[in-house]
Amino acid sequence: MDNFSKKLIIFVLVTVLAVGLVMQSGCVAEAGSRYYGALKVSGKHLCDKNGKTVQLRGVSTHGINFNSDDGQISFGDYVNDKAFKTLKKSFHANVVRIAMYSDEWGGYCDRNADRKKLLATIDRGVKAAAANDMYVIIDWHVLNVHPNPLDHKKAAKSFFNKVSKKYSKYDNVIYEICNEPNSGTSWKDIKKYASQVIPVIRKNAPKSVIIVGTPTWSQDVDIAASDPLKYKNVLYAFHFYANTHRDDMRKKLSDAYDKGLPVFVSEYGTCDASGNGGFNKQESDKWIKLLDRLHISYVNWSLCNKNETASIIKSSCKKTSGWKTSDLTQSGKWLKKTLNSR
C-alpha cells in the first residue's frame, strides 16, 4: 500500500471513530445550536425529545419592573433581540430568564404596575428567544412583599393563563411559577399553590416544562424530594449565592438529586446572598463543577448594570446589547468565561 492510501485509511478510521464517540456521548446537539426543541423531564433530568439529557445555561434579567440607578435604563430594556444574540454568540447562553416581580415597586401586583409594559417585555423576550433558538423562562418573582405565593394566587392564575395561552405554540417557553417562597412558607402551601397554577398552564400548553420554587428562598429541595408533586414535566428550583452558600448546601442539593428530584438552578449568584459584595470565584467554580457533573441547568443573576456585585454589566455601561468584555463586571467576565468553556 502506498503512503497516500495509508494516510487515507487512517483519516477515514479516525473520522468514523470521532463521529461514533460524539454520537454515543449524546453531544450532537451540544456541539450545534444548544437548542433542543421541546424539552421534557425524564427521571431527574431535563431532556430533549429523544430522552437525551440536556443542560440550559444562561442569565436572568434583574426585575423587569425596575430601572437602573440613574433611571436611564429600564431593566426590561435588556430584553431585546440584539441582547439575546449577544448572549448566545458571546456568552454561549441558551436560556434567558425574565424575572418579573409579583410584588415590590412596579411588580405585576403592585399598584404602580404597568402590566401592559410588563407583558410587552415578556412578549419581546419570548420572540427574541425563539428567533435566536434559545429558551426563555417566564418567572413569577415572588420575594419580599408577599413571600407566600398563595397570597397572589388569583393574579398568578390569571397571569399564567394569559401567557400560556399566548405562547402555547412555542416550544422554548418554560414557566417558573414562584421564584422564592420564604418567611416560613411551607411546602404544603407551595404544593397547594402549584396544584392550582400548574393545571391552568397545562390546559393551554399541555407539555410545557414548569419550575416550582421550594421553601426558604428555594433552598429546601430536601423537603420537595421527600414529597414531590404528582405532575409530569416539573422541575424544582434550587437557588444559591456562592459566597454565602457552600458545602452544606452543595450536600443538600446532591442528596435531593440522589433521591431522584429533578432540580433546576433558575437563579444563582457569584457573591453574597444580598446580591452585593463578596464576589467569590473559587466557590462559584466549585458550584459549576457540581452542577455540570449532575447535569443540572443554571441561570445567573443578573443581566443589568445596577451597581451591585451580582450584576454582569458595569454601571458605567449604558448599552442594552453588544457588550464587550470591557463592559462587564468581575461577575460578568467570570460568567462569560465560564459559559464559554463549557
Q: Rounded to the nearest 5 degrees, what angle is found at the Cα of 170, between the Cα atoms of 64 and 119? A: 25
- Shortest-Cβ-distance residue relative to ligand IDC: 275
CA separation, residue 302 to residues 206, 216, 298 (Å)? 30, 20, 12
* 45-47/173-176 β-pairing: unpaired
Q: Which is nearer to ligand IDC, 132 or 179 (CB)?
A: 179
Find the shortest distance in angstroms from Cβ 182 to ligand IDC. 9
Q: Which is nearer to ligand IDC, 86 or 309 (CB)?
A: 309
Find the shortest distance in angstroms from Cβ 227 to ligand IDC. 23
Q: Which is nearer to ligand IDC, 99 or 223 (CB)?
A: 99
Rounded to the nearest 10°, the torsion over CA 325, 30, 132, 83 is: -20
Residues classed as catalytic: 180, 267
Q: What are the residues binding ligand IDC (CB under 6 A)?
A: 104, 143, 179-180, 217, 239, 241, 267, 273-275, 301, 306, 308, 310
For the chain, the C-alpha Rg in angstroms (whole number) is 20
Find the shortest distance in angstroms from Cβ 97 to ligand IDC. 10
Find the shortest distance in angstroms from Cβ 243 to ligand IDC. 11
